[in-house]
Amino acid sequence: MILTVTPNPAVDHTIHFDEPLEPGVVLRTDEAVFTAGGKGINVAKYVSALDVDATASGFLGGHFGQFIRDRLESDEVESDFVNIYDTTRLNTTVLASDGEYKLNHNGPTITDDDVDELVETVEANEPDMALVGGSLPPGMSLSAVDRLARAGEWQTAVDMGGSALAELEADYFACKPNRPELAEATGRTVESNEDAIAAAEELHGRGFEYVLASLGGDGAVLVTDDEVLSAPALDVEVVDTVGAGDAIFSGFLAALDHGKSDVDALRWGILTAARVVGVAGTRVPHLDDVLTSETDVDVTTIRTR
């Protein structure tokens, strides 16, 4: 079972305008989507759709927190959240003709008692893997993430910012940086795919068993103990990039949970991301072709290690 921990979840509010945003102009639309969001929550939704037992956890409070609980229940995703006093945040993505705009709240303040309860919740669920995803809310430090990783026998994966990846001290099973996060985590310039591979290998050398680097339109790179693999992104219509990184990590982790090879795990990640970018918000698309591998993804071995 995979337990996902989202310390700073959100209600994701996605709205679409056919015209550009302009200061002082009131724009109106009927196209609005509300979903339960946050990296760990997204992963719980996607891996559940890929036939993996998953439970979503983290901190929830207020009416937005209740919305997330209700939405996960309607999606038939198990959850076990820690209740907090403050209200869960609302994040808004505006899709306009001139670009994509993201407006995120910082989130509620977390206490030491809240962190203690979260550790107890993870222990009580006895997961095979714990995934910690997203930003940390005010009051929660990276030492709490290390504490979660060390609290039990489960493997721990993280999907966090580059500065966090550089500072975490516990042993971790996997991480999923994007290009800017690779640069921030290593202090390298990461412009080309070769730069990304070098940075991912450096992160692997710091103790991550798997480094899955998502490179947007350039696909992804996977660094393991034995090899460096690369796969291109599929040529699909992109509606919304929200959740794309979560999707590629979800497909990867789900494949490993199903006992697939590293090559197939990277393939599943690419396929899952291709389906997710085709829908607005973080709604779960049909993922049947991921499970059946009906769509081909060309995975290349860059080199053995």
Q: Is the pLDDT of residue 52 over 90?
A: yes
Which pLDDT value is given to residue 236?
82
215 near 197, Cβ under 8 Å? no
Which pLDDT value is given to residue 287?
84
Helix/strand/coil for 131: strand
pLDDT tens digits for 35-50?
A: 888 899 999 999 999 9
Which pLDDT value is given to residue 35?
86
Of the pLDDT bands very low, low, confident and very high (cuts 50, 70, 90), residue 90 is very high
Q: Domain 2-304 sits in which CATH superfamily?
A: Ribokinase (3.40.1190.20)
Of the pLDDT bands very low, low, confident and very high (cuts 50, 70, 90), residue 32 is confident
Q: Which two tokens stand for residue 273?
A: 């991301």
Quote the crossing angle between the two packed helices 112-125 and 142-150, to the nearest 10°.
30
Domain layout of the chain by residue ranges: 2-304
Q: Which two tokens stand for residue 69?
A: 């609980």
Q: H or E element: which one contains 175? A: strand 172-175
Which pLDDT value is given to residue 14?
87
Q: Is the pLDDT of residue 243 over 80?
A: no
Q: Is the pLDDT of residue 240 over 70?
A: no
Report CA-CA distances (Å) from 97 to 16, 20, 170, 240, 259: 9, 5, 44, 13, 43
Q: Is the pLDDT of residue 281 over 80?
A: no
Which pLDDT value is given to residue 31?
82
Residue 85: exposure state from Cβ atoms within 10 A (0-12, 13-18, ≥19): exposed
More confident residue, 191 or 277: 191
pLDDT tens digits for 204-238?
A: 999 999 999 999 889 999 999 999 999 999 888 77
Of the pLDDT bands very low, low, confident and very high (cuts 50, 70, 90), residue 100 is confident
Q: Please state the rounded mean pLDDT for residues 126-131.
A: 97
| Mean of pLDDT over the chain | 93
Which pLDDT value is given to residue 302?
93
Q: Is the pLDDT of residue 163 over 70?
A: yes
Report residue 242 CA to chain centroid gap: 10
pLDDT tens digits for 76-89?
A: 999 999 999 999 99
Which pLDDT value is given to residue 291?
86
Q: Which residues contact 27 (CB under 8 A, 6 or more apart)?
A: 17, 19, 21
Q: Please state the rounded mean pLDDT for residues 48-62.
A: 96
pLDDT tens digits for 102-119?
A: 899 999 999 999 999 999
- Provide the annotated active-site residues: 246
Which pLDDT value is given to residue 116?
98
